[in-house]
Amino acid sequence: MYAVNICGVINTIVRNEARAEEICQDVFIKVWDYADRYDPSKGRFFTWIMNIARNAAIDEVRSKSHKREKLNLNTDFFVGILEPPQEEDRENFDTARLEKMLNKLKKKCIELIEMLYFRGYSQKDASEVLQIPLGTVKTRNRNCISQLRKNMTAK
């Protein structure tokens, strides 16, 4: 039920489909092993799994073996990003609402969220790339996520 979404998030970060599938398998083993640690009062089950997946993918990107491979992005990764979703995906995914929610964010928020949550940058790395103080990155991240949450609850 969750595998496609989990693998998709992992692949977005590691940019290697085969490796993403391996990490996805590891994530589900972790979920099974730590199921007793899930607390419904802190959030949805899907969000809990997604955080485990994201952290696993970031750990992979930061690993020495990943850096040694010097994975380069190829154009195949970008081909489907701007294409509209397939018909079966439209039934389960409200792209118009997502687009509306994201369009309400400032450009600097979109850039920071993309770096921190989809490209595997640490806050320190983002600070260096954006050439802004680390404290500013932390504050901006908190404010951007807060705004994103407000956008999610708005109809």
pLDDT at 101 over 80: no
State the pLDDT at residue 79.
45
130: which residues sit within 8 A by CB, 6+ positions away? 111, 112, 115, 137
Contact yes or no for 53/23 (Cβ under 8 A): yes
pLDDT at 61 over 90: no
Whole-angstrom CA distances from 68 to 24, 60, 65 are 21, 12, 5
Q: How many percent of the chain have pLDDT more than 90?
A: 23
State the pLDDT at residue 22.
92
Domains and CATH numbers, the chain: 1-83 (1.10.1740.10), 94-155 (1.10.10.10)
Please compute the mean of the pLDDT values over residues 54-68 and round it to a whole number.
78
pLDDT digits (tens, 9 = 90+) for 106-123: 888 888 888 887 777 888
d(CA 87, CA 81): 15
Q: Is 75 exposed, middle or buried (0-12, 13-18, 19+ CB in 10 A)?
A: exposed
Q: What is the pTM of this model?
A: 0.49
b/e map 19-28, b = 16+ CB within 10 Å: bbeebbeebe
pLDDT digits (tens, 9 = 90+) for 5-50: 899 889 888 888 888 999 999 999 999 999 999 999 988 998 899 9
d(CA 66, CA 62): 7
How many helices (H) and strands (E) in the chain? 9, 0
pLDDT at 104 over 70: yes
Q: Which two tokens stand for residue 143?
A: 């404010």
State the pLDDT at residue 72.
44
20: which residues sit within 8 A by CB, 6+ positions away? 7, 10, 11, 14, 57
State the pLDDT at residue 135.
92
d(CA 35, CA 30): 8
